[in-house]
A and B are shown apart, each in its own frame.
Chain A
């Protein structure tokens, strides 16, 4: 195959030496000569040799010209394509934009190198080619979603690529690339993925292989360029959370910052600084040393000054991977929380009341100070339910209530769906049949049906405990991931209802989670998101009648606070989203149609964005999708009383991982794609691509051969023309 077949016409130059030879025969000097016999003798003796030499020189010169013509025609090794094979390439350039691409060696980040490789790839494209550009993170971002022949646009788009803090998964982008190429028929199709080869990006390796294999079957050539720099050390804040259930103002709040050593060496004297908004760091913790791969949580305290949104961030010293050096969450501080307790069994004395322990736990202060406490609790009986105005309360807790009237039930359901919190404790009054038919089936409030009650509350020998877990998944239970917080398994449950989650895996059930299990594997506490609200269902009482949980304040108080927090924070859950998830703010109906200015993380130097408050279903919403970066986002809703909501996006901790594709994984990839490892920055990517595209070019060796031939020719010609 020739890249420049027109140059083959140069082969006609082969006739030139012959012509020159013939023409030279006509160009001679005449010389009248006396000593002819010596000339004749010499000619006779040398005739044969001179002929041979002439022929040899002629052949050499022809060969020289042929080689030059061939060299100029730029022959390549891949001979199958023929002389006029289609040269145009339609390339989908997939550039990894995930957070790991921010890793840098102090000068260039991986993304910079990826851009260079991508530009080199663009430069190496043959004329008439077209390019589509996709940014790959956990989603495929169509930067140039349809192939364009405007390579300058492509170059510009590549140069303007910005790193995101999203996690890596190249599969989506590869699928989209294959999809784009499936519509191309008149060019050679190629996929070029430029990535750092982080193992996480290729986690779905089998699917990637399948996708690329199918593409290859359709004639799509896939290539993967791995770029560096490889970094050895990375220390990151892998998690930051509010350890308290609630965030009241002017109280020291404990935040838990989790620091992970992703590197290969022990990190020592790690300073973790906690900062609220733009203030000076409020607290600092030092981790003496952290083994490679190890994660450690530290507690830092901060006070929130006003009942507002606050950004709390934890930071470690900047390193080569800036993605995870700081992690921020937004916390809405509350000045006061109003809680409604519905007591199904008030008892004869206050201590007998079903909600006695609950109230004590939620307001753990002396009765005189209860008025100033941020948690304001109101207790009513089931009979007062119908008059209750749920909207005034942040959460409702129902303990040992037998049943509800339809009015109160529908009001309760509406309250929850609009964003209210509801916690339900069963008891001896509870009518499981009513709960199951109304609350579970009709209103869909309960995460599970109440089954048969087990155990005997009258004795203390036969009990069941909560299952001790190494790692609790639910936010409420996560406190006990730290052994210093004690173990939930210490509480004894003598009697409890069996919670029976809906068997079918419907969309409803996805909102259902189990907070704790009993040691026999049955769910003990479950919750469910209903509408914008949250419901927590316990399987035993809030009082000490069926268990001794309330008698263990070390366990009960934080559990209740965290439960309440989870009910409240359901509203605020949307304030902290993983990078890439939309920011959603449920606005009041009167704000509909208002303009919203969105300020994105300041350090990214990106302009502000704007949205409008729009109607989604029955709710006025502001929805903002463009959360590519970790950090603080701010929504300013222009209204008579301006409203400012702050959000924070957090990068996925896995993105900090330094692990790259293993040799086996790479082999797997190499079955379906050509892998060019440029992580040391040593390969001339353009040349490699060109070589890969057209095979090895033979011009240089041909030119060298021609040169050698030219030298030989000169030497021989000189030698031959020497007097003999």
Chain B
């Protein structure tokens, strides 16, 4: 992975770790994002997205590892006005109108956008004179977006920016983000919606249990995590291929399952089998003909959570034990 491009260093996370008590929120994360990229950090709740974002913003101190933003420390980058964003929580202060609040935030940045322009982009102009405590959840979220926009930073950090926003609002929001990205700004957003990550990011960084489990172009990641999951019970005797009786050679069995058409990942825990599939119809037909003893078959749409579990099950089960 390139840590720099022609425009100089972007955002570089190096062996970044953070624990809260026994919980390893972020474990040795390495990530490099070039200036101008739009990157989605995708993961289920508890994946470490927010902790990672907080460390990038300098709100949380890493236990170990470093973060640099455009070659500076987070504190320096923040002080220089290079960072703007929407945190996951953040009520607005009261007793100000929307316009006054946006003006107030704009005044602390060195190169703010004109207030009216930022308000138009965020779609808050029509309620600009309303007090901030008289807004709906969606309107509040738009005002928070206006605050991020008016600060005109080099890096936008958006932690689940479309939570509580209706469909129409989401469309407008992403249109504005695209406009910002087109100006060469770096955009990093956290989400647990695959569709959002797929539609609006150049690149998806997949996090689960504090680690980056996949990192690549949106199309590639989408293929990995979409699809379905087949669960079944296959007696060990039935698993051992038809001809060879009583051979509990587990690795070969898992390999045989993984070799079924349409399977992207196979797991076996005793008699329980979990298959992550790109094409579950194809897999199911093959499964039944190859392993007629299979029973209790369940086919489910792979929620992103399941997909992550499947993707990450192999390499950190042991560490999970330690955490729990």
Q: Do A and B come from one complex?
A: no
Please give the residue numbers on chain B whose beta carbons come within 8 Å of chain A beta carbons, in ascending order.
none
